[in-house]
Every structure is written in structure tokens, then in C-alpha cells.
Amino acid sequence: MNILLHLSDILIPAILFLVVGYGLVSHVKVYESFLKGAKDGLKISVDIIPTLIGLMVAVGVLRASGFFDLLGALLAPATEKAGLPAQLIPLLVVKLFSSSAATGLVLDIFKTSGPDSYAGTLTSILMSCTETVFYTMSIYFLAAKVTKTRYTLAGALLATLAGTIASIVLAGL
């Protein structure tokens, strides 16, 4: 068992040495390649920042305006029958856009219901079984300059629905 604990300590440095060693054996200018990749990554980050700011502002406005509370109250009769408490509806909506903002909602749910409650357990499972669909699509498609997304949104929303259903089933066990 101790070997597994120490394996994680040496795994990342070992991978770094392996990559650098392979680059040297292949006669690749490792440091120059690293710098080029870092410059490209910085350019992509600068291109992505406006999208990130827009997403964060939109989520902040919707949360502060009380829209999410209204949405939870409207959908509560249907979702509570399915095993999804109304207080988790804003979490599901926000998680589609921003995992960071969703983490703030998770803390609110933990404060009101407790982490060991059904809502707390379901919240924890939901956070790992769903994806930040719009954030991920905007970042990756912007970085790769993809303009035709085809069925990506429908597939991602379907996967989120499947993750939500799986979370409800798992939390109920």
C-alpha cells in the first residue's frame, strides 16, 4: 500500500523526464518547443478571456437578480417528484455555464441543508456527473476556431441529463 502512496509523488516528475528524454533522443529542441507552446497557450488565453468574462458576468447577473430562485420555485413541483430538490435547479443551470459559480451554489446548499443530507449528497454527485457545457464549447471551439458545432450542444445536453438522472439514482441508494 505504501508503494501506491509514493507512486503518485514520483509519477509527474517521471513523466516530465520521460518527455524531455524522448525529445532529446529524437533530436527535438525541447526548450524551444516548450517556449513555442507556452507562447501559443498565452495567445489562446488572451483570445478566451472575453468569453470567460461574459460567462461570469451573465451568471452573476442571473444569480443576483433572483432569476434562479424564481426558476427553482416554478419547476419545483415537477422536479421534486423526480427526486430533485428545488434548491438544486439553480445549481444545474449554473453548472452548464460555470463550474466556479456552481461551486458557490454548492457551498450555499451545504450551509442550508448540510453536506450529509440528501440534497448535499445529490449536489456532490451532480458536480461530478455533469459538465460545464457552454463554457467548454465556447472555450474549445474558440481555441480551435470551429464554427459549425453540428450536434455538440444536443449531445452535451443529453449527457448532462443522463448525468443528472444517474446522480438522482446514486444519491437515492
The DSSP string of 7-61 is HHHHHHHHHHHHHHHHHHHTT--HHHHHHHHHHHHHHHHHHHHHHHHHHHHHHHH
pLDDT of 44 reads 82
pLDDT, tens digit only, all 173 positions of the chain: 577 778 878 888 999 899 989 988 999 888 999 899 999 989 888 887 887 788 778 877 887 898 988 988 898 898 888 889 988 998 898 888 878 778 888 998 999 999 999 999 999 999 988 888 887 887 788 778 888 888 888 999 999 999 999 999 999 86
pLDDT of 5 reads 75
Rounded CA-CA distance 67/72 in Å is 9
pLDDT of 125 reads 93
**Type and span of the H or E element at 100:** helix 99-113
- Give the 3-state secondary structure percentages of the chain, helix then strand then coil, rounded to 5: 85, 0, 15
Cell readout for 167 is 446522480
Assess contact for 111 and 120: CB atoms under 8 A: no
pLDDT of 1 reads 59
84 phi/psi in degrees, rounded to 5: -110, 105
Rounded CA-CA distance 31/43 in Å is 18
